[in-house]
Chains A and B, each alone.
Chain A
Amino acid sequence: MTRPTSEAEYLARMVPPSVRGVDRRTLLRGALGVGALLGAGGLAACGNGGTSGQGVPTGAVTGTVTVGSNQSDAVPKAAVKAYMDAFSKANAGTTVKINTVDHNTFQENINNYLQGSPDDVFTWFAGYRMQFFASKGLVGDISDVWANMQGMSDAMKKASTAEDGKQYFVPITNYPWAIFYRKSLFKEKGYEVPKTLDDLNALGAQMKKDGLDPIAFGDKDGWPAMGTFDQINLRVNGYDFHVSLMAGKESWTDPKVKKVFDTWAGILPIHQPDSLGRTWQEAAQSLQQKKSGMYLLGAFVAQQFTKGAEQDDLDFFTFPEVDSTIGTDAIEAPIDGFMMSARPKNEAAAKKLLQYISQPEAQLLALKADPSVIATNDKADTSGYTALQKKSVEFVKSAKSIAQFMDRDTRPDFASTVMIPAIQDFIKNPKDIDGLLTKIEAQKKSIFTS
């Protein structure tokens, strides 16, 4: 028999068989009765939704629903509380219990968390990792929540779908990666937004003459440079090859991959030198201080700029075109959202909560915390958006294909133990590309075949 998952069930086990009914529902009802008799308190876990597979309840839900959140910063934490409170108000009788763990720890411990006693609903990201959990049975199928979802684009639905065709993820916010710059600096020096790789190189040369570092760069943490690789790969080889490479289906010694690194080596001279000792925050600060001209990063770079005039001075353009047959319609825009654990204690309320999260009301509350991201629901009211956010919305909407970022698109063990050191090696020594690719391929074979 499986381990009891709640106090009620535990107590139920103690009830002798002669008193117990046979099926699970009777068992639990009996347990609640016995529990009451024994004076046991604890979570009341049954909503009206009943057992799984019954879909999102249209009626009221009750009980406590637990939420695991990685939004540990002060402002996002308040925002989460705001929309969770709004949900409780809209559904009288439900309480939302938020379990906040600092974002780093939450991510690092996700395996242990999901295999322990996870909350009913928890924050996570779209991408490979989401699909991985689905295939391992660690998260719950929420296709029924998607059945009637309004305002989510097909791209969003695709990003929330696992290999078995079912949905396991509800998006809430996302943000694009692009090359950011300060409008005032460009105006002052008469720079123009580059459209092709040659334009970028020319602009870089111009900036260098003016005493600036053309492209800020800080890869001490290992992951920022992955963004550069992704962008170049999307431009040089296209979205399909990129996805395939991330999935381990292509060889890293393929000449296509070599071309990516060759291209990167070509523009490395216009990046800030000594990037391996510089954090991305320091690099962003060099952009803010007008010591560098451009920075390839996610929209969160705006957080390094003070609100108001400084943030409004920020603008971005997509990574320039390298191959005219491929163009620039593929972008990277990581999506954040929520998932449901495999065996939630209050499935009905959990699904209703997820449905609520997909709606504009909750999303706009989330945006209050972080004005550098945008809502994922198309129906969200964008009138309150800053200029940067409005541009992000356009940017994401007009993209044909959206990638999630290397460490979410491929196996995390490959991304962190192989790619991070490999890319750092490349930055240190951009000459030995063949040797590097052979090493990556050997390790990739070892990992992906396990």
Chain B
Amino acid sequence: MSDQTLTSNPVDPVRARESALLRPREGGARSGRRWLLPVVLTIVSLIWLFPLLLALVNSFRDYAYTAKNGYISWGGFTLDNYKNAWEQGDFGLHFWNSAIITVPAVLLTLFLSACVAFVVARFSWKINIALLGFFMAANLLPPQALLIPVYRMFRSIEVPFWFSESGTLLNSFQGLILVNVAFQTGFCAFVLSNYMKALPKELYESAVIDGAGITRQFFQITLPLCRPALAALAVLQTTWVYNEFFWATVLLQQGDKFPVTSSLNNLRGQFFTDNNLVAAGSMIIAIPTLVIFFLLQRHFVAGLTLGATKG
């Protein structure tokens, strides 16, 4: 029988849990119908994928061909769209810009929101509710409503020229990163606090008895146990910050500083849009988010928590 407690398998609880969860449940579905679930899920997945497959196929097709024969036809395949998209959209430069913006923003967001969530979940203070409300409500306004006040604020904050070449927070990556962090922290703090609340207090008891301070409790107990939530949020945050466009256009003033989302706009002509080219460009842009998703998927599968205190 599988024994999942920590004491009997202290070396790699992650692996143990992972294999237990991946094993099909014994005696779960009535054995005759065990094929039903995969079939249903496969059908659903294919339905979900269908629109994207349509776009993927068309991104490999020449525009002249589809303009003549419509999109429901077959033929006219080419790799040119991808080559042209990369060049015209200046993807190299803009990918780099996106990286500069997205990576620090996501890391900082996750860290700061984990801090707040930890405090709110760990202690039962009266201020917690207000704090949570503070962070949650920050997420309710449409960002568009805040564009102009933030623009004005940044324009009037002077910083040294080595920090930002415009002399203010405007047109600086740092300003943009900060804004993204501020905006996403609310949501992440809210989600993480709920995950952290699910952790029992007994966990911390053993730590405190051992003499662990708050820092150790945070880094060694809470964060590892929140791995699924952190991974899920990392994927979501990366997607949002990476695909975000409005803040970038308002707070950055030079075209060569824009993130990769602007590359797509460069592919869209002023008067003539080659839709297949845009599709190819969109596929290219999607790659980093897909990579992050695949990298972190493992952590959705593994979940280790409450078993640590049993036994």
B158, B167, B170, B249: the one within 8 Å of A108 (CB)? B249
* Contact status of A116 and B268, CB under 8 A, knowing A3-B158, A99-B256, A105-B262: no
* A304→B254 contact, CB < 8 A: no
Please encode chain B, from 136 to 173, with 1 for each CB lying within 8 Å of some chain A CB and 0 for all others.
Answer: 00000000000010010001001001000011101100
Q: Is A104 an interface residue (CB 8 A)?
A: yes
Q: How far is the CA of A5 from the CA of B165 in the complex (A)?
A: 11
Least CB distance from B278 to A in Å reads 12
Q: Is A386 an interface residue (CB 8 A)?
A: no
Q: Is B265 an interface residue (CB 8 A)?
A: yes
* B250→A100 contact, CB < 8 A: no
A72, A117, A304: the one within 8 Å of B265 (CB)? A72
Please encode chain B, from 251 to 267, with 1 for each CB lying within 8 Å of some chain A CB and 0 for all others.
Answer: 00111101000100110
Report the interface size class on chain B: 20 to 34
Q: Which residue of A lies closest to B258 (CB)?
A: A101
Q: Is A300 an interface residue (CB 8 A)?
A: yes
Q: Is B92 an interface residue (CB 8 A)?
A: no
Please encode chain A, from 274 to 306, with 1 for each CB lying within 8 Å of some chain B CB and 0 for all others.
Answer: 000000010001000000000000001001101
Q: Is A10 an interface residue (CB 8 A)?
A: yes
Q: How far is the CA of A300 from the CA of B273 in the complex (A)?
A: 13
* Contact status of A74 and B268, CB under 8 A, knowing A100-B255, A112-B151, A117-B170: no
* Contact status of A73 and B270, CB under 8 A, knowing A101-B255, A109-B250: yes
Q: How far is the CA of A103 from the CA of B265 in the complex (A)?
A: 8
Q: In the complex, how many residues of chain A place their beta carbon closer than 8 angstroms to a beta carbon of chain B?
A: 30
* A116→B171 contact, CB < 8 A: yes
Q: How far is the CA of A115 from the CA of B271 in the complex (A)?
A: 28
Q: How far is the CA of A304 from the CA of B271 in the complex (A)?
A: 8
A101, A102, A281: the one within 8 Å of B272 (CB)? A281
Q: Which B residues lie within 8 Å of A100 (CB)?
A: 255-256
Chain B, interface SS category: mixed
Least CB distance from B207 to A in Å reads 50
Q: Which A residues lie within 8 Å of B268 (CB)?
A: 102, 104
Q: Is A50 an interface residue (CB 8 A)?
A: no
Q: Is A266 an interface residue (CB 8 A)?
A: no
Least CB distance from B165 to A in Å reads 8
Interface residue ranges of A355-381 to B (CB < 8 Å)? none
Interface residue ranges of B236-288 to A (CB < 8 Å)? 249-250, 253-256, 258, 262, 265-266, 268-273
Least CB distance from B3 to A in Å reads 59
Q: Is B88 an interface residue (CB 8 A)?
A: yes
Q: Which residue of A lies closest to B263 (CB)?
A: A102
B88, B155, B166, B273: the one within 8 Å of A281 (CB)? B273
Q: Which residue of B lies closest to A7 (CB)?
A: B161
Q: How far is the CA of A115 from the CA of B151 in the complex (A)?
A: 10
Q: Which B residues lie within 8 Å of A73 (CB)?
A: 266, 269-270
B148, B171, B265: the one within 8 Å of A105 (CB)? B265
Q: Which A residues lie within 8 Å of B272 (CB)?
A: 281, 303-304
Q: How far is the CA of A109 from the CA of B249 in the complex (A)?
A: 7
Q: Which B residues lie within 8 Å of A112 (CB)?
A: 148, 151, 250, 253
Least CB distance from B264 to A in Å reads 9
Q: Which A residues lie within 8 Å of B255 (CB)?
A: 72, 99-102
| Given A72-B265, A102-B266, A304-B272, 18 extra CB contacts under 8 A | A3-B167, A3-B168, A10-B161, A72-B266, A73-B269, A74-B88, A99-B256, A100-B256, A101-B254, A101-B262, A104-B265, A109-B249, A112-B148, A112-B151, A116-B171, A117-B171, A118-B253, A303-B272
Binding site for A on B (CB under 8 A): 64, 67, 88, 148, 151, 155, 158, 161, 166-168, 170-171, 249-250, 253-256, 258, 262, 265-266, 268-273
Binding site for B on A (CB under 8 A): 3-5, 7, 10, 72-74, 76, 99-105, 108-109, 112-113, 115-118, 281, 285, 300, 303-304, 306
Q: What would be 21 A-B contacts, judged by CB atoms less than 8 Å apart? A: A3-B158, A3-B168, A72-B270, A73-B269, A99-B254, A99-B256, A100-B255, A100-B256, A101-B255, A102-B262, A102-B265, A105-B262, A108-B249, A113-B253, A115-B155, A116-B151, A116-B253, A117-B253, A281-B272, A303-B269, A306-B64
